[in-house]
Structure 1
Amino acid sequence: MYNIIMYAIQLGISISSFFNEKLHKMWRGEQDAVRILREKVEPDAQYIWFHAASLGEFEQGRPLIEQIRKDHPQYKILLTFFSPSGYEVRKNYEGADIITYLPIDTMGNARKFLRVVRPVMAFFIKYEFWYNYLHILQHRSVPVYSVSSIFRPDQIFFKWYGRGYGRVLKCFSRFFVQNEESKDLLSKIGIKDAMVVGDTRFDRVLQIKEASKQLPLVEKFINIDVADRKKVFVAGSSWQPDEEIFLKYFNKHKEWKLIIAPHVIGEDHLKSILSLIKEKKVVRYTQATEENVSDADVLIIDCFGLLSSIYHYGDVAYVGGGFGVGIHNVLEAAVWDMPVLFGPNNKHFAEAQGLLHDGGGFEVFDSESFSLLMNHFAEDEEFCATCGSIAGAYVESLAGATNKILSNVKL
């Protein structure tokens, strides 16, 4: 049944690729993957394979890739993605020797792919459980590790009807899971080789913090050298429901400067944001100059790659997505020692729950709850600073998963 589903998905992507640019990139990338491997694989080299579904999972695997690269240069790194949103952004990543799409998990694709590369070890990040690839690796006695994985009782592996597919979990040599619940769930279906190490994303955001960029135009916008400058609110990865809430507040309050880095950077979305802003001077980052940015009230980041560094300039952060499919990366903001606000769809995000529990994160339900929080931060600077310190300490306290994993892997 699994293989029938995989062939159906492959056929669906093939047909849909004629009408969807993203799926066309995926289809072409999957078709080219084995050819790329045949051209680039060095026959005598030892490859460690990292597979990430998309960009978020890649960021979780990245600390491991870079630590292995540093400590064990004798290995080559193969990095694969399933989604174009991962591959297209990181196809030129210098930490890997070969980067390709991963073809759909049919038996034929898996055999062709692994005949060419023959990895000596594999790391599958978080939710990646590809039945055919994993069974072939197990048959070849290749160690395979699941990294930063997290399990919940409602997943198919723990249902009576999912026992057949659940056997895929027995292909892993070891699970490096995020929490005790995941370890206990695996134990109940007979998988004992699981170790609680936490989430490598905590290590990654600390790396990002260390490598953050100075942004002169942002510094000019916030008037960084002015002693009594206004406080700065940074809204990262925002969607329209988020923007409708926080812009309603800032239209009435002039004591803050506002930086908005929307999740979708397109003219329609940018026009939507502008339509919500009343009686404020707004500058887009790509149009900013030293002359026009310093007296602006709102700076809209209309390009990619700056958000993690922009958080550095904030006093309070808002992370979007909590009124849709789920919040984006709250750790990138929290690492900068500031309180983090987000919408109600955060229950499946352990890091958001941790911030809420400790007092460094705050849930927003509507304009009223947002206003109450922001008024509290504005009126009580000590409270704002304390919450920020708690957020930063939370990130620091949960770092170290990378070292725990690599100390339990034989390289």
Structure 2
Amino acid sequence: MRSVYTSLFYASLPLVLARLLWRSRANPGYRERVAERFAFYPGPPRPVDVWIHAVSVGEAEAAFSLVATIRRHAPASILVTTTTPTGSARVRKVLGDTVEHVFLPYDLPDGIGRFLGHFSPRMAIIMETEIWPNLFTACRRRDIPLLVANARLSERSARRYARVRGTLRNLLAGVDIAAQTAADAQRFLAIGADPSAITVTGNLKFDTELDTSVRAGGEAIKRRLFQERPVWLAASTHPGEEKAVLEAFACVRSRQPELLLAIAPRHPERFEEVARLVRAAGHRLARQTEAGEAAPGGFDVFLLDTLGDLMRFYVASDVAFVGGSLVDIGGHNVVEPALAETAIVFGPYTRNFKQICDDLERGEAAVRVHGIEELAAAVDRLAADEAMRGDLRRRALAFVERNRGASELHWRLLAPHLGESFQSH
């Protein structure tokens, strides 16, 4: 099975490269550092103690608390890989030169061999759900312990993986799995994981800390840029959601003319598209790349068209709709607005954060909506009712605090693989 997969991957390389080039039209980062995607690096080998792979921004955010915990316990050298340019930019912004960083090479035997030979990690950590046949096989053959950290598996993915359960059982042999929830653990069991290798650790995203400088920056944005006006942030939006948000905004503004809307599209290649949608809807638009943090004059809608600033804008907002949830994407990180103490709204599609969203809704710590009318009604009610916003914020923050601790549980799984010198710190 793996040989067929590898042959097909090699055969499809022209299409893979063509897709990279196509995506680079909107995001030039996709045509940069292409050599890294085949594991060609300048200079001599750079061995590391721990290698962490985080596909994109969401996985990187979860990895940051793990990196901090590893550093707190041991003086380990760390490599962080990503797949997307946005993930790469986030790693560089948050971790800078404190870690090694490259793109993960394609899952081909020669590239994976060069990658592992160059960095020679003592421990491999794959964030969330990435299962790569050649990578997992190469780690096993080189006796590199492998942990799937913050592991999650949706029902949809579990059904798909179940078709190749025999192959997955072999790939997951000897792999430790730190599952976010008991339901995730059961789904990994169902696709062939070893029961003795699965531990329920909770979600690393609960261990994220809101830096005081981020809070101060958000409060400054609220004062200087938004002039203390009420702000609704639509965060990490996808195609179809911006139009729905703009329609809901028009409804709310007819009753609350002071309300501002800030939109933060999930993918930077869509910034121009979203700007056109805002203008076509007849709104006065301001953009982060043009305004900075000074008031640019009269505007109704603010477009956050930079990377790495979302947390500050959560702090600066009164209500946050978390995107990827009105369309069937599966939702995005709702822990971030909870930490920023912003009232949270999300849509019906939240499988990526199912238990967290369900618990927040059940505990009256967030509002779930179904469609444009409910979205407009929820934002209208929250923007007008400071006491209700305060109740949601307090409950959501308390929920996050109760669920901290996943990073320490992950460390307990990692430490035995790093040797006595690291365990003693």
Alignment equivalent of 2:138, drawn from 136, 142, 149: 136
2:36 maps to: 29
Shift of 1:339: 2.2
**Structure 1 residues 3 and 24 mapped into 2: Cα distance closer, same or farther (>3 Å)?**
farther
1:201 maps to: 205
1:76 maps to: 77
Partners of 2:213 and 2:90 in 1: CA distance: 21
2:12 maps to: 12
Residues 308-345 of structure 1, C-alpha deviations (whole Å, 9 max, x = no match) = 11111222111222233232322221222232112222
Alignment equivalent of 1:304, drawn from 287, 302, 307: 307
Alignment equivalent of 1:406, drawn from 405, 411, 423: 411
Partners of 1:65 and 1:197 in 2: CA distance: 16
Q: What amino acid is aligned across from residue 257 of structure 1 in structure 2? A: L
Partners of 2:91 and 2:324 in 1: CA distance: 23
Shift of 1:347: 3.3
Q: What amino acid is aligned across from residue 237 of structure 1 in structure 2? A: S
Asked if 2 retains the 8 angstrom alpha-carbon contact of 1:337 and 1:390, the reply is no
**Structure 1 residues 380 and 70 mapped into 2: Cα distance closer, same or farther (>3 Å)?**
closer
Shift of 1:158: 6.1
SS in 1 for 2:259: strand
Within a 5 Å distance, the mapping from 1:48-67 to structure 2 comes to 48-67=50-69
Partners of 1:408 and 1:165 in 2: CA distance: 22
Q: What amino acid is aligned across from residue 270 of structure 1 in structure 2? A: A
Asked if 1 retains the 8 angstrom alpha-carbon contact of 2:369 and 2:375, the reply is yes
Partners of 1:135 and 1:289 in 2: CA distance: 48
SS in 1 for 2:102: strand
**Structure 1 residues 160 and 208 mapped into 2: Cα distance closer, same or farther (>3 Å)?**
same
1:3 maps to: 3
2:419 maps to: none
SS in 2 for 1:214: helix
Residues 2-24 of structure 1, C-alpha deviations (whole Å, 9 max, x = no match) = 33323433443434424425464
Partners of 1:221 and 1:87 in 2: CA distance: 28
Q: Tell me which of the two structures has the higher relative contact order, counting C-alpha pairs closer than 8 angstroms and 6 or more residues apart.
A: 2
Question: Which stretch of the first structure deviates more once superposed, 5-14 or 45-54?
Answer: 5-14
Asked if 1 retains the 8 angstrom alpha-carbon contact of 2:345 and 2:367, the reply is yes
**Structure 1 residues 69 and 164 mapped into 2: Cα distance closer, same or farther (>3 Å)?**
same
Alignment equivalent of 1:170, drawn from 144, 169, 173: 173
Asked if 2 retains the 8 angstrom alpha-carbon contact of 1:311 and 1:336, the reply is yes
Within a 5 Å distance, the mapping from 1:2-401 to structure 2 comes to 2-18=2-18, 19-22=21-24, 24-25=31-32, 27-31=34-38, 33-36=39-42, 39-42=43-46, 46-73=48-75, 75-91=76-92, 93-94=95-96, 96-154=98-156, 155=158, 159=162, 161-172=164-175, 174-187=176-189, 189=192, 190-204=194-208, 206-208=209-211, 211-215=214-218, 216-224=220-228, 230-238=229-237, 239-263=241-265, 264=268, 266-278=271-283, 282-288=285-291, 292-293=295-296, 296-324=299-327, 325-350=329-354, 351-378=356-383, 380-401=385-406
Asked if 2 retains the 8 angstrom alpha-carbon contact of 1:66 and 1:95, the reply is no
Shift of 1:295: 6.0
Partners of 1:83 and 1:295 in 2: CA distance: 35
SS in 1 for 2:305: coil
Shift of 1:89: 4.6
Partners of 1:120 and 1:243 in 2: CA distance: 47
Q: What amino acid is aligned across from residue 247 of structure 1 in structure 2? A: F
Asked if 1 retains the 8 angstrom alpha-carbon contact of 2:323 and 2:331, the reply is yes
Shift of 1:406: 1.0
**Structure 1 residues 333 and 8 mapped into 2: Cα distance closer, same or farther (>3 Å)?**
same
Aligned residues: 396
Q: What amino acid is aligned across from residue 377 of structure 2 in structure 1? A: L
Asked if 2 retains the 8 angstrom alpha-carbon contact of 1:231 and 1:255, the reply is no
Q: What amino acid is aligned across from residue 316 of structure 2 in structure 1? A: Y
Q: What amino acid is aligned across from residue 330 of structure 2 in structure 1? A: G
Asked if 2 retains the 8 angstrom alpha-carbon contact of 1:338 and 1:392, the reply is no
**Structure 1 residues 401 and 40 mapped into 2: Cα distance closer, same or farther (>3 Å)?**
farther
Partners of 1:290 and 1:314 in 2: CA distance: 14
SS in 1 for 2:4: helix
Question: Which stretch of the first structure deviates more once superposed, 17-26 or 268-277?
Answer: 17-26
Shift of 1:213: 4.7
Shift of 1:291: 7.9
**Structure 1 residues 379 and 261 mapped into 2: Cα distance closer, same or farther (>3 Å)?**
closer
Shift of 1:50: 0.9
SS in 1 for 2:199: strand
SS in 1 for 2:49: strand
SS in 2 for 1:100: strand
TM-score by length of 2: 0.82
Structure 1 unaligned blocks of 5 or more? 225-229
2:27 maps to: none
Of all paired residues, the percent bearing the same amino acid is 20
Q: What amino acid is aligned across from residue 234 of structure 2 in structure 1? A: A
Shift of 1:234: 2.0
Asked if 2 retains the 8 angstrom alpha-carbon contact of 1:250 and 1:256, the reply is no
**Structure 1 residues 292 and 311 mapped into 2: Cα distance closer, same or farther (>3 Å)?**
closer
Shift of 1:147: 0.5
**Structure 1 residues 356 and 134 mapped into 2: Cα distance closer, same or farther (>3 Å)?**
same
SS in 2 for 1:79: strand
Partners of 1:124 and 1:291 in 2: CA distance: 41
Partners of 1:91 and 1:12 in 2: CA distance: 30
SS in 2 for 1:35: coil
**Structure 1 residues 247 and 302 mapped into 2: Cα distance closer, same or farther (>3 Å)?**
same
TM-score by length of 1: 0.84
SS in 2 for 1:356: helix
Q: What amino acid is aligned across from residue 17 of structure 1 in structure 2? A: L
